[in-house]
Structure formats: structure tokens, C-alpha cells
Amino acid sequence: MTIIKEFHRDITHKLLNYIEKTKPHKDVLILSGARQVGKTTILKSVLKNKNHIYVNLEQKASLAEQIDACVDFEDFEEMLKDRLGFVPGQQILCLDEAQQSRQLGRFVGPMKENWKEASVILTGSLINELYNETPRRPVGRETFLDMWPLTFREFVEALNQESLVKVLNTFRPGEVISESKHKRLQEMFDLYLDIGGLPEVVSHYLEKQDYQTKRLDILKTYEDDFVRYFSQDDINLFKRSLSAVADHAGSLSKDSQVVRPNAPGYRKVAGILARLEKWKLIIKCEQIGLGPEHNKYAPKRYLYDIGILRDLRLRGLQQISVTQLSQPLLRVPLGGLVENVLALSLKNQFGDQLFGIRLSQNAEIDFAIKHGHAVIPIECKMALRFKTSFLMSIVEYLKKTHSSENGFLFYGGPPLKEPIANCYVLPYYFCDSLKNWLDSNPSAH
């Protein structure tokens, strides 16, 4: 039996900040994320020394049924007191797999309005289904927190690479690192591409068990969830949707990549992709132009876990490494994987303030993020050696927008000490630090 280790997660401080905030009539915290990203583990860790009530509604189906039977909020409140001993303000209430109740969503607004000192956390793998049976969502009553698989930095820490974690935490743009540390971080990055960031998969790897089969088992649970909300007849569309996203990671994503426009099921594709995004299995990255009239491009889509992506995208390759970027036949399949890592990292750091910029039909900036009022352009290049031509799109963007911000270019080589054309040139493995750099030194951008 594999024991899922309790890995350090950067999201912990956000949960603690919510719990320890003493503001009256706090929002209900909605913690969302796909299955097996570590939501339950981190909640139990954060709550273990605090007065709380934790219930998993998937395991306590009778409680979900009782919630659904409540006629109004007073009935709901009395049921919680009788069944769980819950008194608002005395304990933290945490309902896991909250979407198992079809009616819980209608009580979210009254929880904030009626419970002056309560802390309530609702979470689940399909938490965004919470309002399917509710006439309207209680806008202004919730705080949202998304949880994703382990970032690369969290992965390195999970593997107890303390000296490398120190490098990742202390490095600042403009510094250099030794060749030996660069090589070790590249090797760890290769391992991350192979294993991914699902905590149970990482635990299997650490215990020298079959982590690849475990990852496929987890993927199968998503198929089961899909059947519950769609139908068994559409399971092939689910599989094709995930495969299409994997095959075209880094490129524009179109419904026709799933099935042909004249094929049966084509009209369902948009809804399925939207649902997978809602379930945090897919990251949708809108592509915008420099003016509103140019916002006509298809989005890019990425998968939520790099290990799952590897299984779906690189079925014909046994081993992969960023050192293979110089090989033309491997650059494209490996490049999509690397760009997906950066998309996950930036989504984890900046949430919905992530998009791509199309400068023209043939020129783009891979990513841009909003940080305060600044727009920071970011390029991802599939190369081990830097060329000044890599900066053409960033330079064009900064010139056209008269921006004084710095851009960032991530590639497969070591960091360059001096910025070039107002752009820092850095290896992929430092992407997780971008928000910390911008927060700690706003003048640097």
C-alpha cells in the first residue's frame, strides 16, 4: 500500500490566511481542483490543530441526502447542529466533495450573511457543479482558490533536493549559477516531465512502485466522472478531447481537432471542452490581438498535469529530455510538453491573468500576464542555445505598446547575466519564481 506523502504546497499560506482572518461575515471559500491534486491532504494538514468539522460527502452520502432534503436555510442550520454538532463561529466547517449535494449551492449565500464569525470551506473534484440545481450563483459570497498538481519547485522539494530548492528560492534574474547546478536542475526537469505533479504518482515513484500505471488509473477516474455528467455514449468524445488537447499543446486549439465538423458529435465538443476546463482538467489560454477588433483567434489549451500529457502526447517515445531539443524530430513533440509546463506554472501563479498575444497572423507572444497594471510578455523557446532572434516578438510588442516593462524568455540553456533588449533570458526551471520576482522587485519590470 502506498502512503501518500504530505508534500509542501505553496497554496498552504493562502488557506491559512483565510482561516485566520477575523473579518466578520467572511466569504465561503471554494477550493477547486481535479481529482488527486492533493486538496484533501492539504486541508487535513491545515485543519489538524484547529477546532473543525470535516466531512467528505462522497463517503457520507446520507448527509448529502439530508442537505438536499432541507426546505430552507434554517432547516439546513438545524440539521448541521443535530447531525454534526456544528455551531457557527466555534468550529471551521469543511465539506469535501461538496458537489455530491445537489442543493448545497443555494445555502452558500446565507452562510455568509447569517453566520457572522464562521469559516466555511467547500471543496471537491467537481466543485464547480455545485450550482447545477441552483437558480443563480451567489455573486460576492465566495472566495475562489484553485489547486493544481505539484509545480516543478514543489516537485524538487518533494524529492528532497534541498540544495536545488535553495537555488530555486534564492535565484534572481541577472545572477548566474554553476554548470553543475544547471545540469542537475535540467535532470530534475526531465524527471518532472516524465512523472508529472500528481502527489500519489510522485509517492509511487518515491516508493519505487509503478507510478505510470497509477497515473493511468487516475485518468480512468476522470472517465467515470464524465459518464456521471454526460453519458457512456459520449465517452469516446471525452477521450478524443483530451487527446486533441495533448496533441496540439502549444498550438491553437479548435473543435475540429477533436472530430470533423461533419461528424456525429461535433456539436457536443465545445460543451465537453468547456466542462473539462470547469473541472480544471484543461487550461484555456485566450489569444488576443493588440486591439479589441483583433480578438478573433482560437485559444490555446493545455492539460492540467504534465505526466498525463506525456502519456497522451508521447506514446511513441520511451525517454525524453530537454537535452534532445537540438534533434529536429523531437523538438516539436517535446516542445509542446515544455510549453505546457510553463502554462501550468503561470496559471498557478497568476490565475486568470494569463493569455497569449497575437501580433499578426504569423507572429505571436506565447504568454503574457497581468501584474498590477503591467503586462509582462513571456516567450518559450525550444532551444539549448540562445539566439537574439528569439526576442523579435517581445521587442516588437514592447515597441508597439511603448512599454517600459521587461520581458522574459525561457529556454533550455543556462541563465544569461545581462538582460538583452529589455528581456531576461532564463532556463525553463525558473518559471515558478516569476511572481515572487515581480512582487519583491516591481521596478525590475
pLDDT at residue number 324: 85
- The pLDDT, as a whole number, for residue 104 is 92
Average pLDDT, the chain: 91
Q: What angle do CA 256, 261, 266 make, to 5 degrees?
A: 85
Query: Average pLDDT, stretch 237-248?
Result: 95
Domains in the chain, CATH or no CATH each: 12-146 (3.40.50.300), 152-197+230-444 (no CATH)
Looking at the chain, the whole-number percentage of residues with pLDDT higher than 90 is: 76
CB-based contacts of 162: which residues, under 8 Å, 6+ apart? none
Cell of 158: 518533494
Parallel, antiparallel or unpaired: strands 28-32 and 354-358: unpaired
The predicted pLDDT at position 314 comes to: 87
- Per-residue pLDDT tens digits for 251-304: 999 999 999 999 989 999 999 999 999 999 999 999 998 877 766 789 999 999
Query: Does residue 435 have a pLDDT over 80?
Result: yes
Assign 406 a pLDDT band (cuts: 50, 70, 90): very high
Provide the pLDDT for residue 224: 87
H or E stretch at 425: strand 423-427
Distances (CA, A) of 83 to 56, 60, 63, 107, 433: 14, 12, 8, 17, 45
Check residue 132 and give its pLDDT.
61
Instruction: Give the helix ranges, DSSP H, for 248-305.
Output: 266-278
pLDDT given for residue 124 in this prediction: 83
3-state secondary structure of 182: helix
pLDDT over 50 (residue 445): no
User: What pLDDT score does 436 carry?
Assistant: 95
What integer pLDDT is reported at residue 138 of this predicted model?
Answer: 55
Residue 50 in this model has a pLDDT that exceeds 70: yes
Q: 223 pLDDT exceeds 80?
A: yes
DSSP three-state, residue 416: coil
Q: What is the structure's pLDDT at 327?
A: 83
